[in-house]
């Protein structure tokens, strides 16, 4: 995944980005905001890959389905089962970021305000 700024091409992979409220928003309770590049102070926004969106949905739904199925058939889960599910989730997230998402996928794009 490419973590460079789309405006100045600075590497943002290990940088903390500042959230800046849009004009007209309160500085302490902003509902609309953008990220600010620490190098060029340009307005950028984060972009999720489609696989990441699907993975988040699977992480939320799969344990719920497994617990519901186990309750229906009368199984009682142990702490080891819980740790196995958490470990598989972490390994899956790592595998998706490492092997599925291409190296040239741009994480950040220039900011565009979406009007509803």
Helices (H) and strands (E) in the chain, counts: 2, 4
**In this structure, is the dihedral angle defined by the CA atoms of residues 64, 69, 72 and 77, taken in order, positive or negative?**
negative
Kindly report the CA angle at 12 between 107 and 9, in degrees rounded to 5? Answer: 80
Kindly state whether residues 43 and 12 are assigned to the same domain.
yes
Residues 2, 40, single domain; the answer is yes
What's the CA gap between 73 and 71, in Å, rounded? 6
Q: Which residues of the chain have pLDDT under 50?
A: 116
Let me know if 78 is exposed, middle or buried by CB neighbors in 10 A (0-12, 13-18, 19+).
exposed
Report the number of distinct structural domains present in the chain.
2
Structural domain for 68, as ranges: 50-100
The pLDDT tens digits for 4-36 are: 899 898 888 888 888 888 877 777 777 778 888
Give the pLDDT confidence score for residue 115 in this predicted structure.
54
């Amino acid at each position: 995944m490419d973590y460079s700024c789309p405006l100045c091409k600075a590497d943002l992979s290990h940088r903390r980005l500042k959230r800046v409220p849009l004009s007209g928003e309160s500085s302490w309770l902003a509902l609309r905001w953008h990220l600010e590049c620490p190098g060029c102070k340009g307005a950028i926004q984060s972009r999720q890959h489609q696989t990441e969106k699907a993975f988040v949905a699977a992480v939320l739904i799969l344990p719920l389905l497994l617990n519901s199925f186990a309750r229906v058939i009368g199984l009682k889960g142990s702490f080891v089962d819980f740790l196995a599910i958490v470990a598989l989730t972490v390994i899956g997230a790592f595998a998706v970021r490492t092997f599925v998402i291409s190296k040239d996928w741009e994480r950040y794009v220039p900011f565009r305000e979406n009007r509803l």
